[in-house]
Amino acid sequence: MAKKTSATPDVEKMRHSCAHVLAQAVLEMFPEAKLGFGPAIENGFYYDFDLPRTLIPEDLPILEKKMKHIVKQNQKFKLVEKNVDESISYLEKINQDYKVEASNDLKKEGFDKITFYENINQKGEMTFVDMCEGPHLEGTSKIGPFKLTHTAGAYWRGDEKRPMLQRIYAVCFTTQKELDDYLKQMEEAKKRDHRRLGTDLDLFMFDEEVGAGLPLWLPNGAYIRHKVMEFAFNTYLENGYDPVSTPHIANVALWSHSGHLDFYSDSMYGSLTIDEEEYKLKPMNCPLHVKMYNSSTRSYRELPFRWTEMGTVYRYERSGTLHGLTRVRGFTQDDAHIICRPDQLKEELEKALKLTLYILNTFGFKDIEMNVSVRDPENKSKFIGEDKLWKQAENTLKEVLEASGFKDYIYDIGGAVFYGPKIDVKVADSIGRKWQLSTIQFDFNLPTRFGMAYVGEDGKNHTPFMIHRALLGSLERFIGVLIEHYGGAFPAWLAPIPVVIIPVAQAHEKYAEEILKKLKEKGIRAKLYNSTDTLGKRIRLAEMKKIPYMAVVGDKEVKAKSLAIRNYKTKKQETVKAEKFLTNLQKEIIDRD
Ligand SMILES: [Zn+2]
Ligand SMILES: [Zn+2]
């Protein structure tokens, strides 16, 4: 079993062994069950089954009980090798149709032997068998604490034209504490699920008739999206970037020239025909920026170029992988391309990294992990670009990271894409989950393909370095992460409504309206909650909408020109002078606190 997760091979082996135990328990419960695949995944494993009926939540504890019983027995995992034809007829005999198909494929690929793992109980009887490449533990007693978490539909081989199987997900750890901590985090994550909060807070929606993976931003969500985009874009302009803007579609000739048709066509949508010419929705902005660069002769004196675009791109994602805002079919990137001379590389990378940290810190992401992916020096043919360029790029990446205090970055040899090394930035959110957000990526492909050049001091043509960078990544995904990170309680600078004013009774409405007017003068979006609902009900509504500040006004406040402020985050209440609150809130918004 190739390593697929961030866990150690031993932990992966344990998790996958636990998956076999689950399959054994499922077969005890449904002898006619047909097995799909059951790999280890992050924090646990899953297994896909074709079952005579749909599983209900109550099935999971029953299966867990059966699994615990198997684990206790310390059944041994025994490796058995069969030749391929014998394997196929054996799997046919035990009615494991999906495994028959998988073994037929292996036969076509030229395998002559197939491995199986049997479970053997203390009496020496075979209790379970699965076609599997392993590896496995010695026996089931080495399996750590686990829990079956949920089920989901999953197409056989991820193909929507094939049968839908039932996938059982599980988590499995080496110690009880790890399991408990993880389950607690999951519980918290459920409350923060951006899909649920998106509905509760009227942020965004999907509509069947519009299409899957195509989010519709409601006013509250669109406001947040606007604020995030405005902050990022303005920050780039303040940091020496220039704005550019390009269309959503481009002639197929461009995508052929850039290599996207050869290497990226699986992610691209079908063509549109305009005046008998073929066009495609753009999956990336890069070739369009390259065209602008190439539109005139560039001198070494003009470099570096830092061109940024909030570019909307479209990429095909299978319907089964779509997930709220974090996996969609059309999204906007805070894209930029840095085109520079070799002697500017270090400074440009330093600046890009500094900017990344500033942007992420502003959103409260403090725990940041750097992942550097470089070429495999043993397998250079997989990568394009001259040795000299790779070396300079990789060394500069390392140097810059170390100089910025990131000594313990993760170094992935062979993890680079074929056209250049990169830094991926992962952040931990407020409940410790990691998300990959920013990317800073070299490209040795496009400059060559498009013959990008600048005239050097020597009067000759030189090829510039080209760096792609997106710091938020996809805005849709970033905001999905942000909703979960904040648990829907946005700070005042991002909140669609940072403050509501709640008059206790009608007599206090005039004063409330004065405050509203003053807030609006300061450019602060505020709302008056002056409906005929009871005070308690209006306070609960503001709570539910996770409004950062509630300003309640009654007799006392009107008289003292003050406000009774309730802070959503701290749950504290205090009475402050109205002027002071207005100034403080304005400062908080400007400072993006
Ligand atoms: Zn296995
Ligand atoms: Zn790019």
- Is the pLDDT at 163 greater than 50? The verdict is yes
Q: Using one digit for the tens of pLDDT, what is the confidence trace for 494-529?
A: 999 999 999 999 999 999 999 999 999 999 999 999
pLDDT tens for each residue of 289-308: 999 999 999 999 999 999 99
- In one-letter notation, the amino acid at residue 87 is S
Residue 49 pLDDT exceeds 60: yes
User: How far, in Å, is the centroid of ligand 2 from the Cα of 304?
Assistant: 16
**Residue 1: pLDDT over 90:** no
For residue 296, the CA-to-ligand 2 centroid distance in Å is 20
Least distant ligand from the CA of 469: 2
pLDDT (mean) for 242-268: 95
Is the per-residue pLDDT at 66 higher than 70? yes
CA 364–ligand 1 middle distance (angstroms)? 41
Confidence of residue 282 (pLDDT cuts 50, 70, 90): very high
Percent of all residues in the chain with a pLDDT value above 90, rounded to a whole number: 92
Between the CA of 284 and the centroid of ligand 2 the distance, in Å, is 6
Length of the chain as a residue count: 593
Q: How many CB atoms are located within 10 Å of the residue 93 CB?
A: 9
Residue 542 has pLDDT above 80, yes or no: yes
Alpha-carbon gap, residue 339 to 447, rounded angstroms = 10
Q: Is residue 3 over pLDDT 80?
A: no
- Which residues neighbour 235 within 8 Å (Cβ) at sequence distance 6 or greater? 355, 358, 359
0.85 cut: is pTM over it? no
Q: How far is CA 561 from CA 519, 522, 554, 575, 578, in A?
A: 14, 18, 10, 10, 6
Say what the pLDDT of residue 335 is.
Answer: 97
**The tokens 């996996």 sit on which residue?**
327
Whether CATH 3.30.930.10 fits 200-246+285-486: yes
Average pLDDT estimate for 555-575: 97
For residue 36, give the 3-state DSSP assignment: coil
Task: Name the closest ligand to CA 117.
Answer: 1
Of 306-315, 400-409, 492-501, 577-586, the range with the lowest mean pLDDT is 400-409
Tokens standing for residue 2:
């190739």
How far is the centre of ligand 2, averaged over its atoms, from the C-alpha of 336 (Å)? 7
Ligand nearest to the CA of 283: 2
Query: Which CATH number applies to 499-591?
Result: 3.40.50.800
Give residue 4's pLDDT.
62
The fraction of the chain above a pLDDT of 70, given in percent, is 99
The torsion angle over the Cα atoms of residues 232, 235, 237 and 242, rounded to 10 degrees, is -40
Query: What average pLDDT does the chain have?
Result: 95
Instruction: Dump the DSSP string for 424-492.
Output: EEEEE-TTS-EEEEEEEEEESSHHHHTT--EE-TTSSEEPPEEEEEEEEEEHHHHHHHHHHHHTT---T
- Residue 393 Cα to ligand 2 middle (Å): 17
Please give the distance, rounded to the nearest whole angstrom, from the Cα atom of residue 219 to the centre of ligand 1.
49
pLDDT at 2: 45
Q: Work out the average pLDDT over 31-54.
A: 96
Ligand lying closest to the C-alpha of residue 78: 1
| Angle formed at CA 520 by CA 476 and CA 222, multiple of 5 degrees | 10
Assess whether pLDDT exceeds 70 at residue 540.
yes
pLDDT at 305: 98
Q: How confident is the model at residue 380 (pLDDT cuts 50, 70, 90)?
A: confident
Residues whose CB is under 5 A from ligand 2 (ion)? 286, 468
Report the separation in Å between the CA atom of 443 and the middle of ligand 2, taken as the mean of its atom positions: 8
Distance from Cα 475 to the centre of ligand 1, integer Å: 39
The ligand with the least distance to the CA atom of 441 is 2
pLDDT given for residue 332 in this prediction:
97
CATH topology of domain 9-188: Threonyl-tRNA Synthetase; Chain A, domain 2 (3.30.980)
- Flag whether pLDDT at 408 surpasses 70: yes
Q: List active site positions.
A: 286, 315, 333, 335, 337, 422, 468
Q: Averaged over 368-372, what is the pLDDT? A: 95
Residue 544 has pLDDT above 70, yes or no: yes
Average pLDDT over residues 439-454: 96
- Alpha carbon of 163 to ligand 1 centroid (Å): 22
Q: Quick one: which ligand is closest to 308's CA?
A: 2
- The per-residue b/e assignment along 384-405, b for 16 or more CB within 10 angstroms, e otherwise, is bbeeebbebbbebbbebbeebe
Residue-range domain boundaries for the chain: 9-188, 200-246+285-486, 499-591
pLDDT band of 127, cuts 50, 70, 90: very high
